Structure 1
Amino acid sequence: MKKTKIVATLGPACDGPGILEQMIEGGVNVFRLNFSHGTPKDHARRIKAVRDVAQKSKLPVAILQDISGPKIRIGELSGRVAELRAGDLLKLTTKKIMGNRRQISVNYAGLPKDVKKSNSLFLADGLIEVEVLSTDRTIIQCRVLNGGRLTSHQGINFPDGTLHAEVITEKDKRDMAFGVEAGVDIVALSFVRDPKDIKQARALLAHLGKGRIPIIAKIEKHEALDRLDAIVQVSDGVMVARGDLGVEIPLQQVPLAQKKIITHARQMGKPSIVATHMLASMVARPRPTRAEVTDITTAVLDSADALMLSEETAVGKYPVESVLMMCSIIQVAEQSLNHRRLLDDTPVGNTVSDSISQAACIMAEDLRAKVIITPTAFGSTAQRVSRFRPRQNILALSHNPSILRFLNLNWGIVPIEIPRAHTLDDLFKISLHAAKVNGRAKKGDIAVVTAGVPLNKSGTTNLIKVERIES
């Protein structure tokens, strides 16, 4: 069984009969809805389909809503395509026009104010670079430095400075309201620049009601890297969004940024997701490139919590095969993880709960335990244990299905639903029984159990018990 989780993006390629079942059986733990595409009707239909399949499989599959954010895009192009050549003059305008190779509209009215003479703008995911020559209230005059093929509605990046567009747009607010009502488990916030962006999103979700929804901060702006620790601290996890990040910073810095983001998230006990171009060649081909296999292996060895498939499963020809391939690469890579070194190298926090979690992992390693069992009211116990990357499966037991679905994003955690326990003895009995009936342990196996007193209170992990599974 793999410990690194798989996030798969939903789309037309997943809509065929039996596809979702095969993807879950193949190793998908979380399904992503990309709100940059699709209609509310499409998303509602796919949410229902995932819930129906997950209920049949009795697995706590999570649904992640990835909101669009303030993505700066060009407008419509005549014939949907324009060929830009180096040396050409190009006018960007905030007015809505039909674009061509000489003039193109942009969807952000504040862009002429945010850029300055000599700044560079990147179009088409960084393939095209233009230099700003002059600006006025609605127009940016540019010279094309690196030409290329541009298509309608492609993105614009501004790595030389800061865009002052609101991180949560009016569309995002509508989409988040839809997501809360539809019961999504996780929200991914795009183009995060500052911890205040997370706090704003959290306040909005709280206003919309339906309990606390975890927020994943997408790290894809250069400003976010400068404030990484503060952003990780206030979020519930992070995504290494390598598409836009690879335009915001030099490409050769992306692997090091990825490693830094994963490390900082793990040290704080927050899950990390590595995304974009993991198996891009499998959109059209049945087998990946060697470089893609190496990329996935590197992310696993860096100890990412989850890896994400985007167009591979949303619109690709081989959605199920992509999942199976990623799962097989993960399983092989995980055989090379040095769990003892990961355990020894992980810094321990200064709380009783952190020390207990580390001690549970050390005991499990020394006693060759089969499982670490972590009854948890809000998920924090299981996450604390997960950050030490133990060899054993971490059985996260809870009576709260939404907590279990979020924990399914975290490395090495096996979420299992149990009834609420009212005494400590009941909790231990229920925990050991759950390990057996779910096939995670058998008679004679050793289990290390962590718990907290008082029960059902967050952050009270304060005891360890070693049990041998009885018949």
Structure 2
Amino acid sequence: KPHSDVLIAFIQTQQLHVARADPFLEHRCGPDIDSPSITARNTGIFWPGFPISRTPEEKLKKGTTLKITLDKAYVECEENTVWMDSKNICKVVEMGSKIYVDGGLMSLQAKEKGADFLVTGVENGGSWGRKKGVNLPGAAVDMPASEKNIQDLNLGVEQGADMVSVFHPQGIRCPQSQKGSGRKGKNIKVIRKTENHGVWRFDEILEVSDGLMVAGGLGIEIPAEKVFLAQKMMVGQCIQAGEPVICGAQVLESSGSHQGEGSDVAHEVLDGADCIMLSGEPDMGDQPEAVRMQCLMAGEAEAIYHLQLFEELRRLAPTPHRSRCLGRCGAFFKYPNGAIIVLTTPGRYAHRVTRYSPAPLIAVTHNHQTALQAHLYRGIFPVLYKDPVQEAWAENLAQWTSGMNVGKDRGFFKKGEGVILLTGWHRAQASPTP
């Protein structure tokens, strides 16, 4: 079976339920669909007798020759022959073109090719192991959703995932992912990962997405001197569109708090990113302190003076909805308060307000999925209200009280400080604003 009953039981009891155990809903979960923007994604498996607890790897030296084959007989790779799970790599790779492995740490150059093999020279060596990512910059590739991708997506829907992240190929086509699992998965957030030619069609991709991820392979697929411009453009576009944006660059790769790596983390936050992915050392390295250091750097960067950013966003607010959000958040600068509390059902009002908010935003909702997905947006702290909700917002004081209690417990404000209360309800309506 693609997904055995044992695997499903493990996900249910160990991962998804643990992610939802916190009463403040500070964890969300979703499958990462490996539908990459490249033809050859995964390398084969070296198996020279290593214990199962270790990842077998082979050292590739600069100047040596390496043969890449599509023959599954070499899935367990040999010293100078490796297998890749591509079907058309030999068709799209031109003689003399580059092949990057493991996020660009290793590079190969194509010297000879046949119907089912490539002979390459190692330009930059390194540790070649199982499941290493492969990038083919400049290659005209097409990677539709595979059967396994769809199975993974359906599994996430069945287990109640909050979001799903998928690679977006060169265009905007991504079948079976945009609400592609039927009515049951229609409210799952679809986060598109962009790292190559999708940059040039970013507006089209953003239009069909619930959020964007700036993937870590961006520096391989486009010229290195253009990377910071592309990232700032994508983050800025997402802020204007009101969509969450995640930066997935290789931060703290060396596990140290060096100036350059500290600046990388800070500038992603200063640019306006909602989330920063763990990658490299913070994700799977030997130094767990790297995670704490990354958190400290992000927190320091968030303590910026928001007035200048607020004024810049004010000039970019063309719609009435955004203008109303700006007006409400503008009161914070005139009369400083500790936090903003918003009552919302689908979450859209809280998502808009947090773009302009200089303070923590406590979003009180009775929708469980809305509360979980709110963590995709920077500065929102969701509170799940489980008691019956009154139709008249002015009578629903219990929701306000619930948000106030959480704010006091979390130290967002203290006795004597003011709190701005907002609601997505109109006085003459019994339904939330869009």
Mapping of 1:61-80 within 5 angstroms?
61-70=27-36, 72-77=41-46, 79=48, 80=56
Q: What is the RMSD of the two structures over their aligned residues, measured on CA atoms?
A: 2.9
Mapping of 1:414-453 within 5 angstroms?
414-418=381-385, 419-427=388-396, 429-438=397-406, 439=408, 440=412, 442=415, 445-453=418-426
Question: How many residues of Structure 1 are paired with residues of Structure 2 in the alignment?
Answer: 408
Change (3 A) 1:378 1:128: same
Mapping of 1:28-39 within 5 angstroms?
none
1:173 equivalent to 2:150? Answer yes
3-state SS of paired residue (2:86): coil
Amino acid at match of 2:28: A
Query: Deviations along 1:326-347, whole A, 9 cap, x unmatched?
Result: 3322232222x23111111115
| 1:305 CA displacement | 0.9
Amino acid at match of 1:177: N
Change (3 A) 1:239 1:403: same
Correspondence for 1:391: 358
Asked if structure 2 preserves the Cα contact closer than 8 Å seen for 1:192 and 1:217, the reply is no
Q: Of 160, 168, 182, which aligns to 1:183? A: 160
Asked if structure 2 preserves the Cα contact closer than 8 Å seen for 1:386 and 1:410, the reply is yes
Change (3 A) 1:257 1:323: same
Amino acid at match of 1:64: G
Between the aligned partners of 1:171 and 1:106, the Cα distance in structure 2 is 17
Between the aligned partners of 2:270 and 2:147, the Cα distance in structure 1 is 39
Between the aligned partners of 1:318 and 1:46, the Cα distance in structure 2 is 24
| 1:266 CA displacement | 1.0
| Identical columns (%) | 26
Correspondence for 1:23: none
Mapping of 1:182-331 within 5 angstroms?
182-197=159-174, 200-206=176-182, 209-220=184-195, 222-242=196-216, 244-282=217-255, 288-310=257-279, 312=281, 315-319=284-288, 321-331=289-299
Asked if structure 2 preserves the Cα contact closer than 8 Å seen for 1:373 and 1:431, the reply is no
Between the aligned partners of 1:121 and 1:281, the Cα distance in structure 2 is 24
TM-score, normalization: structure 1? 0.77
Correspondence for 2:53: none
Between the aligned partners of 2:242 and 2:371, the Cα distance in structure 1 is 16
Between the aligned partners of 1:272 and 1:174, the Cα distance in structure 2 is 26
Amino acid at match of 2:229: L
Between the aligned partners of 2:224 and 2:13, the Cα distance in structure 1 is 37
Correspondence for 1:376: 344
| 1:400 CA displacement | 0.3
| 1:263 CA displacement | 1.4
Between the aligned partners of 2:272 and 2:197, the Cα distance in structure 1 is 24
Unmatched runs of 5 consecutive residues or more in structure 1: 1-34, 460-471
Between the aligned partners of 2:18 and 2:171, the Cα distance in structure 1 is 33
| 1:187 CA displacement | 0.9
Asked if structure 2 preserves the Cα contact closer than 8 Å seen for 1:206 and 1:212, the reply is no
Mapping of 1:40-55 within 5 angstroms?
40=8, 42-51=10-19, 53-54=21-22
Between the aligned partners of 1:327 and 1:132, the Cα distance in structure 2 is 41
| 1:190 CA displacement | 2.7
Unmatched runs of 5 consecutive residues or more in structure 2: 49-55
Query: Deviations along 1:75-125, whole A, 9 cap, x unmatched?
Result: 234635444445544332211114345432210112122222332211232
| 1:184 CA displacement | 1.5
